[in-house]
Amino acid sequence: METLNEAQYEQRHLESCQDYELILNTKGYDYIEKYCDRYVKKKCREILLPSGNNLQILDLTWLHDLSTEVEHSCAEPLTAKFYLAGNLRTITPGIKDKYVKDDYLEKTGENYLFYLPQIAEIEQAKAGTTEILIRITFDLNFFRSFNTDSESLPEPLQLLLETDTPPRFHLPVGKITPQMHLALQQILDCPHQGMMQRMYLESKVLELLSLQLTQLVESNGRQANSFKPTDVERIYQAREILIQNHVNPPALMDLAQQVGLNHMKLEQGFRKIFGTTAFGYLRDYRLQQAYLLLRDGKLNVEAVVNKVGYSHLGHFANAFRRKFGITPGACRAGKKIVTEL
């Protein structure tokens, strides 16, 4: 199989490209691009939506086997993929990330959600394969604006919502459901034009993301097993370790090792017993302790932030306001909270 980096592919593309067509602002899309080169016959429809989310409809027929070395930038968005046909193998040599496999296959009838900044990948396509997929990228600030309660989501999505430096992840969400199929078909056969088309496509993009998140939450729930009494004891032991070390807590893998549980089972146990992840429990405990310290009034806000284990005042203030409905300063001044502890 031939292997090319992005610059090499671009050069081969320019040398062999035939029937190139680029039509701007047509049929409601920002552009429609068509071409055939040595490796692939491609059609792409793309539109940037008012929210900053981007929708691509891709139809690719591979004419030769090809491995392409792809470099992701540091500004990669959250991305959803829905494979209506075809598959794509991706290899990430030497990757050590917790939520990214070093070799995975995206395939027909499946959907995926991922966040992969600053990563080098090799994408492998097979001759004779046709890929038809819908690819949506979500503006991170827009995605985070919906966050009110992320505790039921998988840990990497919680971290994406809660922190400025979240880990990379690639989540195989599951089979494309009938509801997803309907929304995807409605995107392909959009009945509107102009302003109404953009509004319609925006709503379908959000519907698909909502369906993906729902599927992830339901999948996590199905994975929760019944727990033996000894497992329950170990989960409570893990909670005590988090409480005693809330300023400098162990990582999830280390915590699981300390109590003698698999890290996945520990996470499932926290969800079943405490209704949240280990990360979510720790966050809530820290915020509750901060609330008590602020109400006491002996320490200023910055001192409280340090005392409960937060390293960033802005992150703490945002989390505190989401949980209690007031700022830390207002809490210290004695104002009543909007939501209960």
The residues of the chain that CATH labels 1.10.10.60 are: 229-332
For the CA atoms of 128, 131, 132, 137, the dihedral, rounded to the nearest 10 degrees, stands at -160
For the CA atoms of 203, 166, 172, 153, the dihedral, rounded to the nearest 10 degrees, stands at -70
Task: Report the alpha-carbon distance of residue 205 to residue 12 in Å, rounded.
Answer: 34
Q: Quote the pLDDT of residue 94.
A: 82
- Which of 61, 104, 68, 115 is CA-nearest to residue 85? 61
Task: Report the alpha-carbon distance of residue 234 to residue 228 in Å, rounded.
Answer: 10
In CATH, the number for domain 229-332 is: 1.10.10.60
Helix (H) or strand (E) holding 132, with range, is strand 130-138
Full DSSP string of 153-191: S-HHHHHHHH-SSPPPEEEEEEEPPHHHHHHHHHHHT--
Q: Which residues contact 185 (CB under 8 A, 6 or more apart)?
A: none
Q: Quote the pLDDT of residue 223.
A: 52
Q: Quote the pLDDT of residue 263.
A: 84
φ/ψ (deg, to 5) at 57: -115, 115
pLDDT in tens, the chain (341 residues): 889 999 999 999 999 999 999 999 988 899 999 999 999 999 999 999 999 999 999 999 999 999 999 999 888 899 999 999 999 999 998 888 889 999 999 999 999 999 999 999 999 999 999 999 999 999 988 898 888 777 778 888 888 988 888 999 999 999 999 899 999 999 998 888 888 899 999 999 999 999 999 888 877 655 555 577 888 889 999 999 999 999 899 998 899 999 998 888 888 888 878 888 888 889 888 988 898 888 888 889 999 999 988 888 888 898 888 887 888 888 888 765 444 33
Task: Report the alpha-carbon distance of residue 239 to residue 282 in Å, rounded.
Answer: 8
Task: Report the alpha-carbon distance of residue 84 to residue 110 in Å, rounded.
Answer: 8
Q: Quote the pLDDT of residue 222.
A: 55
Q: Quote the pLDDT of residue 340.
A: 39
- Three-class SS of residue 4? strand
The residues of the chain that CATH labels 2.60.120.10 are: 2-222
In CATH, the number for domain 2-222 is: 2.60.120.10
Q: Quote the pLDDT of residue 341.
A: 37
